[in-house]
Chain A
Amino acid sequence: MKLLLKLLSDPECAVSYTVEDWDETIRFARHTHLLGHLYFLMERSSLLEKIPARVKNIMLGSSIYNRYFRIQARREMVHLAKQISTSKIPIVLLKGGAYIQAQLGAYSGRRLSDIDLLVAKSNLSTTEKILLSGGWQYGEVNEYDQHYYRDWMHEVPPLIHQSRKMEVDLHHNIVPPVSRIKLDASKLLEKALLIDNSPFYILEAKDLVLHSATHLFFNDELRGGLRDLVDMHELCMQFSKKENFWSELVPRARDLGLQRPLYYALFHLKLLLNTPIPIDVLSESAKDRPNFFTNWLMLHLIQGLIAPKNVENMKAPFAEWLLFVRSHWIRMPLPMLIKHLSYKIRYNTKNHE
């Protein structure tokens, strides 16, 4: 994994990689869905002709695959823009969709499978109606799922366009309203900026990083993995030239209640990708770490999942399970959690039979 991490933070070292180095790097990169991103990095640094042809081909295959999904996503955003154009509701694109539309970070190596939107809660039902009337429909959701999304989650059930099959997730917050973190989404919307030549908004620079961190570290089993961390790395590199980006990052996180995920993000960005984060920002953010034992355990689990060391066994099922439990613990109060898990167990057993 060290070799892949080194390549992600310093693409130039590609020229010194041996055959054995590449063999290992490719395996880790495929596992972490970063082959397409590596192609982009090599292209950006004009290194494509300096690496073995086989390596270039493997990366190219993945890059072509990712590009197809980006084209689909762009097309979906054109349709969404058309559909919402008359409504005047400000709609914020989140994550991959936002990076593509605003051409941020390493958007051109990235794959994305859905479009995430954020609107004010007061505009949620209107936006939903507008999308439903434009041919977007709910995927397979039963009554319980509807209740789960509507009452507990920060999004409506996934919407899928009947002919284009791309998933659109409509959010009114970036954390569930029932979770332990109480986040006032209007603070995010206030600062959102209109994207040039687009009807959509994007979160302000610091909030973009904070959202990515929250998404990664509060998600079940850290699903986005190293790829999300790479997103943050690229964003930070781009924003570090911005005035006040670093100095205001930790205060903004505390204001939103997202200081813990920011701490995990900055710690791992520095450790794994050697992101040039100012020392005082790191030490300020470190004040937000949990108690010694929790911190030790979390860092251990996180690294086991997003940066596995053994190429023969990149899975960490126990860490995955613990983090899964943790993510639910954060997201739901205990009685709700018991209710939810017991339903899921019954539902899964029934479907298994």
Chain B
Amino acid sequence: MPLSVLLKIAKTKGLNYSIGPFNICLKTDIPLFLETFVKMYASLPLINQACISDFHIQIKQKKGLRRLWHQQAVFTVDSSEPFEPYPYNLAYPLAEWGLNWCIALSAHQNIMLHSAVLEYKGLTVVFPATSGSGKSTLCSILMLSGWRLLSDEFSIIEPNSGKIIPIPRAIPLKNNSIDIIKNFSEKAILGPTFEGTKKGDVAHLAPTSESFLRQNEWGDPALVIFPKYDMNIRCNLSKEDKALSFVSATQNSFNYHLTQNRGYKALSTLIQKCDTYNLHYSHIDDAIKTLNQLVEDTVDKKTVVI
């Protein structure tokens, strides 16, 4: 669909799409934002019939006389404006961040982790991490090497089944990572670089089309790996104690305390059924090699058991 037609829909009744378990209705009047959005979510089908939206989101130009000399973008969800207006050209990061905020604050029917989740050879791997641990870079390279992306920083556990609900979103890359990913693969689809945000330069990497097409296939987690980037260390993988892993997982969760026994049950089940590891690395190539090997070994082990 040409951009002008999309913009017309986006201005009036809004674009309806599902991302993972959520239906979103998105309205916008900012062409530049829509262009980036379409680039990031090209393989995501629009919903054409009537649907129930989890969130009605608007990302619009701020009204008022001031826009004649100073344009700003405003994020609205269900008539409330939770953030101050952003500079106009940062509308895209604002929308991504805004949607994170909506989900983190309301989707407590699930247990949410600040983790990347990817799948390789049918094995789902959870990478809980704090920001700055190199998780987004690692996650991007794994995805571009053929792993399926379930989530980059926002993973969702369905507490009754213990499975991970995919929610493929554009991956925000920061500073040096942008060039690392650009140089790593020609297949990388990157959005514009937003300079001088609170986190420095940010550019978004589009999930692979496989990640979108299979977004309704839930993952059954088998490995939990805590990655840590450290430039002074040789790549090493070590088993992590289960009790410590459990504590780390609770600290990694957005809503563990809020969900009480549901959260406890979900995270203790996750840690009990998964093998848990620490991965320290300085060169990303070594990390990838180690992870591929680990997944293959685990798959072999599982086949023997069966």
Contacts and interface: CB of A to CB of B under 8 A. Distances in A.
Interface of A: 18-20, 22-23, 26-27, 30-31, 52, 54-55, 57-58, 60-62, 64-65, 67-68, 71, 311-315
A68 B105 CA distance: 13
Interface string B48-82: 00111110100000000000000000000011100
A178 to B, nearest CB: 33
Contacts of A55: 52
Nearest to A54: B52
**A58, A312, A315 — which one has the most chain B CB atoms within 10 A of its CB?**
A58
B108 A23 contact: no
B197 to A, nearest CB: 24
B108 A64 contact: yes
Which secondary structure dominates where chain B touches chain A? Answer: loop
Contacts of A312: 79
Given A61-B106, A64-B108, A64-B258, A23 B50 contact: yes
A315 B110 CA distance: 30
- Size band of the interface chain B makes with A: 20 to 34
Contact of B51 (A19, A313, A315): A19
B106 A62 contact: yes
A314 B262 CA distance: 34
A58 to B, nearest CB: 6
Contacts of B259: 64, 68
Which secondary structure dominates where chain A touches chain B? Answer: helix
Contact of B107 (A22, A31, A61, A67): A61
Contacts of B260: 64, 67-68, 71
Nearest to B16: A23
A64 B109 contact: yes
A315 B79 CA distance: 7
Nearest to A315: B79
Interface in B246-273: 257-260, 262
A286 to B, nearest CB: 33
B175 interface: no
Contact of A314 (B52, B53, B79, B110): B79
Contact of A26 (B52, B110, B258): B52
A23 B52 contact: yes
B130 interface: no
Contacts of B262: 64
B292 interface: no
B79 A54 contact: no
Contacts of B23: 54
B109 A31 contact: no
Contact of A60 (B21, B54, B109): B109
A313 to B, nearest CB: 6
Given A64-B262, A68-B260, A314-B79, A19 B50 contact: yes
A248 B80 CA distance: 41
B50 A30 contact: no
Interface of B: 21, 23, 50-54, 56, 78-80, 106-110, 257-260, 262
Given A22-B52, A27-B56, A61 B109 contact: yes
Contacts of B257: 68
20 contacts: A18-B50, A19-B50, A22-B52, A27-B78, A30-B78, A31-B78, A31-B80, A55-B52, A61-B106, A61-B107, A62-B108, A64-B109, A64-B259, A64-B262, A67-B260, A68-B257, A68-B258, A68-B259, A71-B260, A315-B79
Contacts of A19: 50-52
A318 to B, nearest CB: 15
A18 B49 CA distance: 13
**B21, B53, B109, B260 — which one has the most chain A CB atoms within 10 A of its CB?**
B109
Nearest to A18: B50
Contacts of A311: 79
B250 to A, nearest CB: 15
A65 B52 contact: no
B79 A313 contact: yes
A185 B55 CA distance: 45
Contact of B79 (A31, A61, A62): A31
B54 A58 contact: yes
A127 to B, nearest CB: 30
Contacts of B56: 27
**A19, A27, A31, A55 — which one has the most chain B CB atoms within 10 A of its CB?**
A27
Contacts of B80: 31
- Top 9 A-B pairs, shortest CB-CB distance: A314-B79, A64-B108, A60-B109, A61-B109, A61-B108, A68-B258, A19-B50, A57-B109, A23-B52
A36 to B, nearest CB: 10
Contacts of A30: 78, 106
A65 B106 contact: yes
Contacts of A60: 108-109
Nearest to B110: A61
Contacts of A54: 23, 52, 54
Contacts of B110: 61
Given A60-B108, A61-B109, 9 more contacts: A19-B50, A20-B50, A27-B79, A61-B106, A64-B109, A64-B259, A64-B260, A71-B260, A311-B79
Nearest to A20: B50
Nearest to B49: A19
Nearest to A312: B79
Contacts of B53: 23, 26
Nearest to A25: B52
A17 B23 CA distance: 18
Given A31-B80, A54-B23, A315-B79, A65 B108 contact: yes
Nearest to A30: B78
A235 to B, nearest CB: 27
**B50, B53, B80, B108 — which one has the most chain A CB atoms within 10 A of its CB?**
B108
B51 to A, nearest CB: 6
A54 B21 CA distance: 9
Contacts of B258: 64-65, 68
Contacts of A67: 260
